[in-house]
Amino acid sequence: MRSRFHSDRRLTVRMGLTLFLLGLLYVGFVAALIVLLRSWVLVAVLVGALFVAQFWFSDRIAVFAMRGRPVAREEYPELHAVVDRLCALADLPRPVVAVSAMDMPNAFATGRSPDHAVVCVTTGLLRRLEPAELEGVLAHELSHVAHKDVAVITVASFLGVVAGLVVRFAFYSQIFGGGRRDQNTAIVFAAVLGVSAAVYALSFLLIRALSRYRELAADRAAALLTGRPSALAAALTKVSGEIARIPTKDLRTAQAFNAFYFTPATGREPGIERFFSTHPPLGQRLEQLGRISLELGEAAGPGKAG
């Protein structure tokens, strides 16, 4: 069953291209590890176990890490009502609804498929947004589920996670066991460290480029589904402003999950680092919503109503 969220062919192409490039990188990375470590069994078991863990349990890990928990309809009836209405409107399976006890106003969606998805909002978001603004944010998150880009980001992130773990392992092994290694072993570890660092850097850039576009696609799909791009723009402006007032030390835990959030937990607009950001600049998102608002206004203008 296809959802009624606005499809985005450019997003689909970008997801496919990113997965293809990361797949090539992944094959090369595994081959390099096998050659360097001289044990394809060890590499296969390690990589396979990590992939299964991340793909099947990514939703639970993310919700747990952000201090979230599934909530019953009786606890948050208004939140459940908005999710129910949007899922019915979009013809989308209903996700698990979760709430995180954090003052930082934000939301995220995660899960390996529309049938196994979680949408989580923070108590800070619920306290600050008006009903129409909350609907826009939830529509944005549900569009990630409908577009399946949540699953793609989860899979795409896997290679970077593995490479990062290998870098850490090699680094700490050199520190705590360097005196017990011969020169050949040191060369092997240096090679593993170099390959892993290169793979991590390339996967980092590919994922960030995809992440920035998928946020624009989600804004666009949410605005067209609800028919109220101005409400989503108001939510973006309000949430970005509120996050900027939260102390940086309170945002550090959340920053590891920036790729999944409605707005990044950075507390400021990026400068040159926008090329490495998980989200496009706020101005670009608001500009797009402004164009959609004009388009919808023209479509509903005199003589154009259905």
Q: What angle do CA 277, 139, 290 make, to 5 degrees?
A: 70
The annotation status of 116 as a binding-site residue, yes or no, is: no
Neighbouring residues of 237: CB distance < 8 A, sequence distance ≥ 6: 282, 286
7 alpha carbon, distance to own chain's centre: 18
Whole-number Å distance between alpha carbons of 14 and 152: 11
74, 78, 135, 141: the catalytic one is: 141
Whole-number Å distance between alpha carbons of 206 and 153: 10
The annotation status of 140 as a binding-site residue, yes or no, is: yes
Whole-number Å distance between alpha carbons of 256 and 189: 27
Tokens representing residue 5 in the block: 């969220």
Q: How far apart are the first and last CA of the chain?
A: 26
Whole-number Å distance between alpha carbons of 96 and 297: 34
Q: Tell the residue number behind the tokens 């600049």, with chain if given.
A: 281
Whole-number Å distance between alpha carbons of 106 and 4: 25
298 given a catalytic annotation = no
The annotation status of 144 as a binding-site residue, yes or no, is: yes
- Residue 240: left if φ>0, alpha if ψ -120 to 50, beta else—which one? alpha
Residues with active-site annotation: 141
Q: Which residues are annotated as a binding site for Zn(2+)?
A: 140, 144, 215
Q: Which residues are annotated as a binding site?
A: 140, 144, 215
